[in-house]
Structure 1
Amino acid sequence: MAILKGSITDDKIQSKYLDETIDLLIYLPSRYTPLVKYPILIAQDGRDYFQLGKLAKTADRLMEEHQIEDCIIIGVNHKGIEDRKAKYDPSGEKHENYIRFMAYELTAYLNEKFNTLQLGAGMGLIGDSLGGYVAMKLSLLYPNTFGKVIVQSPYIPEELLQTVESIEQMQTLTIYHSIGDEEHSFTNPEGITKDFLAPNRRMNKLLNNFALDYEYSEFQGNHLWVNWQKDLVPALTFLYNNR
């Protein structure tokens, strides 16, 4: 098993919008120096992405092999299933304040803490399922803040499709978008079966109408971490290709 060359540390940020302390995971590449400006990738479901998705380990290997540029990765942790739904679900009671926390408080904190690229392309987002919805929504609402986004099997409600339909131009964004070919029938933890595939295909058709840097992929399989983990290599390479 590959040994991590970079480092992972814990951090915290106090949110006025949410009136709580948010736990963070911070990955720094092995060649990190405060003298260099770095792009930042922010992950929803931070702990899951680091542990189940092996995001830091995968990125670390790709950086060491010079397949992607060095970047800082931030994992934003939630406090469990109920807290996740309250923050990520569009109908959740904390959702709008969580969006504000991400767009204003977290970005300001990271720009102050690290030597960052103060451009939209310098701040990226990654999310799966409901976290993918959050990542997509943030990039659409704040394209000058979050210029790069990876969405893996994102939840795509009708209102998000309508939002994209109403946008006239979106050329500032770089988007990697993937979905499993078996996700036409996904049963969530609450026992509700949903079709994730059809709305993602609709979103793909809409995004293809724009002159943006966009990659769409349908992987084999269902709504599972094992599939998102494998999908990280093409996703990270697309966003941070060392070209």
Structure 2
Amino acid sequence: MNSDLLVEKVHLAGAPLIEGELVIFIWLGKHAPGLIGDFNDWDEAHPLAMQQLAPGVWIRQEHYPQDAYLEYSYWDFERRLVDPLNPRRVYNGVGNYNNYFYMPAAQPTPILRFYRGGLRGTVTRHTLANNILLPHGRRSVYLYQPPVSEPCPLLIVWDGRDYLQRGKLAHIIEALIVLGRIRPLALALVHNAGRGRMTEYACSEMTLAFLVEMVLPMARQHLNLLDPVDSPGGYGVMGASMGGLMALYTGLRMPQLFGNVFSQSGAFNIFGRDSVVFDLIRQAEPQPIRLALQVGRFDFRRLILANQRMQALLAEKGYPVSYLEYPAGHNYTAWRDYLQPGLEFLFGRENEKENENLP
């Protein structure tokens, strides 16, 4: 491999260099940091080593599926370093920026290309205050009203601000409504508790109390919603990672309201311990809910295994479940790009009658 030609190509095309399934990461400098990313669980203790090709030129060759989306960073055992040869960067939500790349057969969700204009529906921000139910006393909730006149089901979204801003959820929902792929949905996008997020979403009854006592009444006041008495189980709930765990817990605890559960990269196993949701499903009779479960093939290994076990358990118990392993990792770009199949499974027009005949 000619180092001069490689350096010339990377200055023209940017890093990494991609040829089919081959990906060549390149670092220029006297010494090279290690490489971490979706492909090694972001393991800072065991970064992938770069190999010296020539003085000042370091490379790492890997093979990935042609439809993959991957994020990565360099690591010098003290701090993360962005790739100076790759201008494509995305905020990771925990104080750093990751570099990213799409493989040749991958692309951002095409629904965003269809729907480039502003929202026809409305998004409003509201603040709820309660010193007992909320860790910090106050919480922001964003409400989305679709551009229709008829009453709609409500979809509760944990980590709502991130899904709104980073996941483009309202735009994707509205595009699917306009295209006739799903029935109209209203959204209540609930912001998380910040540093208290892990506790708040770890199957918390206080979080459910906040939802029932504060979020739902506010949503009914400001949105044109179906009456849950007339449409039991017609609402939905969704989230990612810990929010995905909380979404499943919400559906299991309140199926009479939330009969549609969408979990992306659900954290069903935390620090090596299975969540109580496994026991709730294993020990009880099946609840009248439909579920869409997704996890990335480049997600954290323990979450991949936990989601596979969860899917198997749900199927064994007779739950209607859609399961997808997509070629990406644990990030909002991946969750955004695979929203459509989960939403269509739960809220597609062809499923309206099916939801009336759940066990």
TM-score, structure 2 normalization:
0.59
Q: Distance in 2 between matches of 1:12 and 1:76?
A: 10
Identity %: 26
Q: 5 Å matches for 1:52-63?
A: 52-63=166-177
The structure-2 alpha-carbon separation of the partners of 1:16 and 1:110, relative to structure 1 and needing over 3 Å to count, comes to farther
Which structure has greater strand proportion? Answer: 2
Aligned to 1:120: 232
Residue 345 of structure 2, aligned match among 224, 234, 238: 238
Are 1:5 and 2:138 counterparts? no
Query: Unmatched 5+ residue regions in structure 2?
Result: 1-112, 351-359
Q: Distance in 1 between matches of 2:176 and 2:169?
A: 11
Residue 265 of structure 2, aligned match among 140, 150, 153: 153
- Per the TM alignment, residue 16 of structure 1 is displaced from its structure 2 partner at its CA by 6.1
1:176 match: secondary structure: strand
Judge conservation of contact 1:151–1:176 (CA < 8 Å) in 2: yes
Aligned to 1:14: 129
Aligned to 2:144: 27
Aligned to 2:156: 42
Task: String of CA shifts for 1:48-104, please: whole Å, max 9, x gaps.
Answer: 001111100101111111111111011101242x032231235xxxx4312221234
The structure-2 alpha-carbon separation of the partners of 1:161 and 1:86, relative to structure 1 and needing over 3 Å to count, comes to closer
Deviates more, 1:157-166 or 1:220-229: 157-166
Judge conservation of contact 2:152–2:184 (CA < 8 Å) in 1: yes
Judge conservation of contact 1:176–1:215 (CA < 8 Å) in 2: yes
Are 1:197 and 2:313 counterparts? no
Query: Unmatched 5+ residue regions in structure 1?
Result: 186-194
Q: Alignment RMSD, CA only?
A: 1.8
Q: Distance in 2 between matches of 1:58 and 1:87?
A: 27
Aligned to 1:74: 188
Aligned to 1:83: 196
Q: Distance in 2 between matches of 1:112 and 1:30?
A: 17
Judge conservation of contact 1:120–1:148 (CA < 8 Å) in 2: no
Q: Distance in 1 between matches of 2:216 and 2:123?
A: 19
- Per the TM alignment, residue 124 of structure 1 is displaced from its structure 2 partner at its CA by 0.7
- Per the TM alignment, residue 225 of structure 1 is displaced from its structure 2 partner at its CA by 1.2
Are 1:225 and 2:338 counterparts? no
Task: String of CA shifts for 1:5-46, please: whole Å, max 9, x gaps.
Answer: 222111123346415232111111122x3xx32101111111
- Per the TM alignment, residue 178 of structure 1 is displaced from its structure 2 partner at its CA by 0.6
- Per the TM alignment, residue 183 of structure 1 is displaced from its structure 2 partner at its CA by 2.2
Structure with more relative contact order (C-alpha pairs < 8 Å, separation 6 or more) = 1
- Per the TM alignment, residue 112 of structure 1 is displaced from its structure 2 partner at its CA by 4.3
- Per the TM alignment, residue 123 of structure 1 is displaced from its structure 2 partner at its CA by 1.5
Aligned to 2:297: 181
Aligned to 1:106: 215
Aligned to 2:97: none
The structure-2 alpha-carbon separation of the partners of 1:114 and 1:8, relative to structure 1 and needing over 3 Å to count, comes to closer
Q: Distance in 2 between matches of 1:181 and 1:149?
A: 21
Aligned to 1:65: 179
Code of the residue aligned with 2:217 in structure 1: it is A
Judge conservation of contact 2:177–2:183 (CA < 8 Å) in 1: yes
